Amino acid sequence: MRYIGGKSKLLQDIDSFVMHKINHEIKNKTFLDLFAGTGIVASHFKKYFQVITNDSLYASYILTKGYITPNEIPKFEGLNKIGIIEPLDYLNNLEGTVGFITDNYSTEKSERMYFTTENAKKIDDIRITLNHWLNKNYITIDEFEYLLATLIEAVPFVSNIAGVYGAYLKHWDKRAFNNIILRHPILFNNGQDNKAFNEKAEYLTKSIVADICYIDPPYNGRQYTSNYHLLETIARYDNPVIKGVTGMRAYEAEENSNFCKKSKVYDAFKEVLTQVKCQHLFISYSADGLLSKDQIEQILFTIGISSTYEFRGIEYRLYKSKIVIKPKVNEYLFYIEKK
């Protein structure tokens, strides 16, 4: 899935940094990914540790709950009893029905070109069916979240967007004409009781405990609530009040992140780093972020053992082109052992 600040290109750098600092001592350790996003970092480290994921966006929580925490595909015994052996086959063969997504995010009844009418109807039909199955106790909450994760993962492959959902394209991209298809994820069984949370970091860090904490917070002024509003609406399927040309959810002020606000990011960073209960603390941050390297170091030296501090800068390009040479982006990696 395309995601702002995704770490797919940096996984090996992050891996070598983490494993070096913990001296490859992986037995019986827990790894907390506090701003998990799509869960790509937690998924990578699942082969070493029990993983705990968290994200304040419900759609991100669903992705990690369905794709990262399970060790095997659910049994779906309740569906089996009513004759549905493979739920994804059943969902993929639904004809589609008009619902909130079709009415507001396709050209069936609006001018918003996020989805073709066919895909929008399919998304509505799948969401209505999942809610029905859950309400009838045909599926458990874990099975519901697993199936919903397959939908959230599939949606970007038929979305008529440039990358995020802050706007739709004014012409139809060819990907929008793909038929939405739900697929089972490839799950890694680490034999651990992995967990997922849907909390703001400043709330969860008051109670959660882990051996290793990896923090990759938002680094600029773009709120994830607005950039991924449509995935959130599909995940929640709560018929929200929407506004504007793009049909954005009418978020409450407290739903937005202080990590995306220049005036509040320093205090938000300090609060979370002070509260988090772990031994090994790792941070990813962009050189283009709202906080400077010096500001982050200032916070780390107040909450950690200064002699353990280590910093790495990673130089990489997000995109390569023979025509346009884009500037290199520096990713910062910080480590400190907490006091």
What class, spelled out in words, does domain 1-72+195-218+258-339 have in CATH?
alpha beta
Give residue 315's pLDDT. Answer: 79
pLDDT above 50 (res 25): yes
Looking at residues 44-65, what average pLDDT do you find? Answer: 97
Binning pLDDT at 50, 70 and 90, where does residue 195 land?
Answer: very high
Looking at residues 59-68, what average pLDDT do you find? Answer: 96
Question: Which of 5 and 96 is assigned the larger pLDDT?
Answer: 96
CB burial class (10 A; 0-12, 13-18, 19+) of residue 327?
A: exposed
Give pLDDT tens digits for 67-107. 999 999 999 999 999 999 999 999 999 999 999 999 999 99
Give pLDDT tens digits for 274-329. 999 999 999 999 998 999 999 999 999 999 999 999 999 987 654 444 444 445 65
Strands of 30-33's sheet in order across: 195-197, 50-54, 30-33, 212-215, 280-286, 329-338, 304-316
* Cβ 289 vs Cβ 269: under 8 Å: no
Give residue 323's pLDDT. Answer: 45
pLDDT above 80 (res 236): yes
pLDDT above 90 (res 130): yes
pLDDT above 90 (res 6): no
Which residues fall within 8 angstroms of residue 329, CB to CB, at 6 or more apart? 286, 287, 288, 315, 316, 317, 318
pLDDT above 70 (res 185): yes
CA–CA separation, 3 vs 5, rounded Å? 6
Give residue 321's pLDDT. Answer: 42
Give residue 319's pLDDT. Answer: 42
pLDDT above 70 (res 253): no
Give pLDDT tens digits for 133-181. 999 999 999 999 999 999 999 999 999 999 899 999 999 999 999 999 9
Percent with pLDDT over 90 in the chain: 83
Give residue 316's pLDDT. Answer: 65
CA–CA separation, 187 vs 197, rounded Å? 19
**Taking the complete model, does pTM exceed 0.85, yes or no?**
yes
Looking at residues 31-57, what average pLDDT do you find? Answer: 96
Give residue 320's pLDDT. Answer: 46
How many Cβ atoms are within 10 Å of 258's Cβ, its own excluded? 20
Binning pLDDT at 50, 70 and 90, where does residue 5 land?
Answer: low
How many Cβ atoms are within 10 Å of 32's Cβ, its own excluded? 28
Give residue 251's pLDDT. Answer: 76
How many Cβ atoms are within 10 Å of 133's Cβ, its own excluded? 23
Looking at residues 247-251, what average pLDDT do you find? Answer: 88
The domain ranges of the chain are 1-72+195-218+258-339, 74-186+229-256
Percent with pLDDT over 70 in the chain: 92
Looking at residues 251-268, what average pLDDT do you find? Answer: 84
CB burial class (10 A; 0-12, 13-18, 19+) of residue 117?
A: middle
